[in-house]
Amino acid sequence: MSKNRFCLILAGWLLPEVSAWAIGIDAVSVTTNAQGGQTYTVTIQILALMTLLTVLPALLLTMTSFTRIMIVLSLLRQALGTAQAPSNQILLGLSLFLTVFIMMPVFEKVNSDAVQPYLEEKIEAMAALEKASEPFRQFMLKQTREADLAMFIRISGHAELESVDDVPFSLLLPAYVTSELKTAFQIGFLIFLPFLIIDLVVASVLMSMGMMMLSPMIISLPFKLMLFVMADGWSLIMEMLAASFYTV
């Protein structure tokens, strides 16, 4: 029951118009016709709510550190040239659990300030939604570039906002995702550099030896793996990703 109520809180927070009927919603309506028969219909609100719940995981992933982590790990795999090792499932799982680790202060604040008081019936649903949105808003604002936020404000045609607290989620979310993409590709560029140097050195050596039919990727792969292992690459990558975020 607690999990279901928490999902309803998130759904109402993401779409304010849903919150008016999210609690205590009528699922099925029965209509009796002139012949005495009954017709069962599902309200449009239920259909909208179920549709929202299907996209809720994707929305939550874009509002957390998952985007940056997943892109950086994917670029790392390409820089190593290991094709499908680690596999996509491993990268997804690693990104998800690292996201939980990074976002835990935010989740704990949402749980203590909004979820638990609402479950204990100390605050109303709308008050819980407002309290739950604040930690996510602060986290996203700290990671969002001012230039990206200003760009979406300009595109949307909004007037000048007095403070960041006045920025709606419809503008903050795309600005945050855009900033995350930029940051992830910047980190990926730095990760690529040492492996690119190894590829260039190996390719130059093979060309000088006249071994043009041999793929440089095959020869450079063991050297890149050796460099990555000797530098304790996985620990460095995990530490760098965790330190690149500022939690509340």
Between 217 and 43, residue with greater pLDDT: 217
- Provide the residue type at 180 as one letter: E
CA distances from 137 to 59, 109, 154, 247 (A): 14, 12, 20, 11
pLDDT beyond 70 at 36:
no
Summarised one tens digit per residue, pLDDT across range 82-116 is 877 788 888 888 888 888 888 888 888 888 887 78
Peptide bond into 86 cis (omega under 30): yes
**Assigned token pair, 212:** 């043009």
pTM for the full model? Answer: 0.71
pLDDT beyond 80 at 184:
yes
Q: Which pLDDT value is given to residue 185? A: 92
The answer to whether 246 and 142 are in contact (CB under 8 A) is yes
pLDDT beyond 50 at 153:
yes
Q: Which pLDDT value is given to residue 65? A: 86
Summarised one tens digit per residue, pLDDT across range 194-207 is 888 888 888 888 77
Between 218 and 67, residue with greater pLDDT: 67
Q: Which pLDDT value is given to residue 24? A: 46
Percent of the chain with pLDDT over 70: 75
Q: Which pLDDT value is given to residue 166? A: 74
Q: Which pLDDT value is given to residue 44? A: 60
Q: How big is the chain, counted in residues?
A: 248
Confidence of residue 23 (pLDDT cuts 50, 70, 90): very low
pLDDT beyond 60 at 41:
no
Mean pLDDT of 139-144: 86
Q: Of 138, 159, 141, 174, whose CA–CA distance to 62 is shortest? A: 174
Q: What is the 3-state secondary structure (H, E, C) of 220-242?
A: HHHHHHHHHHHCCHHHHHHHHHH
Q: Which pLDDT value is given to residue 38? A: 52
